[in-house]
Amino acid sequence: MTFKEKVTNLLEEALQEKASLFLVDLSISESYKITVTLDGDNGVILQDCIDISRVIENNLDREEQDFSLEVASAGVSTPLKLVRQYKKNIGRTLKVKTAAETIEAKLEAATEESITLSWTAREPKKVGKGKETVEHQREIPYSEIKEAIVIIIFN
C-alpha cells in the first residue's frame, strides 16, 4: 500500500465518524507534506480539524516515512468545488465566473447537474425613457462554471 493510499484510507475512516464533514481536497507533495481541506454541512470547527489530524497522525509511522500534516477548513474565499458545497450555500450570494461572463447573484437551487441563480438589474425600459428593475434567473451547468465564490455580506 502506498503512502497516499494509507493517508486516503485513514481520512475516509475519520470522515465516516463525522458524517457532516466532507473532503474538499487532499494533496501530498513530493516532500510528504499532507494537506487536507475539509468542509462541512454545518461548517467546520477547530475541534473537527484536530480530530481528523489525530486520526491520520496517530496511525502513520514517522520512522517509516517522515511527513508533515496540515488539516484546515475551506476558507471563505476558497472557490466552491463540490455539489455538496453548493447545496450548503443555497440562499447566499455567489460570484460565478463562466467563460462568457461574471454574475453576482443569489444561489436559489443546486442539483447534481447545475445551479440556479437569481438577481435584479436596472435596465433601460423597452418603451420610453428611463430604467426599470428586471428580475433575472438563470440555470448554469457545473461544466460551464470556471469559479464560484461565496460573497460575504455584512448587514
Query: For the segment 91-136, what is each residue's pLDDT rounded down to a tens digit?
Result: 999 999 999 999 999 999 999 999 999 999 898 988 888 898 999 9
Is residue 38 over pLDDT 90?
yes
> How confident is the model at residue 155, as a pLDDT?
74
**Average pLDDT of the residues of the chain:** 92
What is the share, in percent, of the chain residues with pLDDT greater than 70?
A: 100
Residue 150 contacts residue 89 (beta carbons within 8 Å) = yes
Rounded CA separation 71/48 (Å): 9
pTM above 0.85, yes or no: no
> How confident is the model at residue 1, as a pLDDT?
79
Summarize the confidence of residues 36-60 as an average pLDDT. 93
Residue 81's nearest CA partner among 13, 23, 151 is 23
Residue 44's nearest CA partner among 20, 15, 14, 12 is 20
Summarize the confidence of residues 48-55 as an average pLDDT. 94
Is residue 81 over pLDDT 80?
yes
Take residue 48 and report the three cell numbers written for it. 473537527
Summarize the confidence of residues 37-57 as an average pLDDT. 93
Query: Backbone phi, then psi, for 142, in 5-degree steps?
Result: -55, -30
Residue corresponding to grid cell 450555500? 89
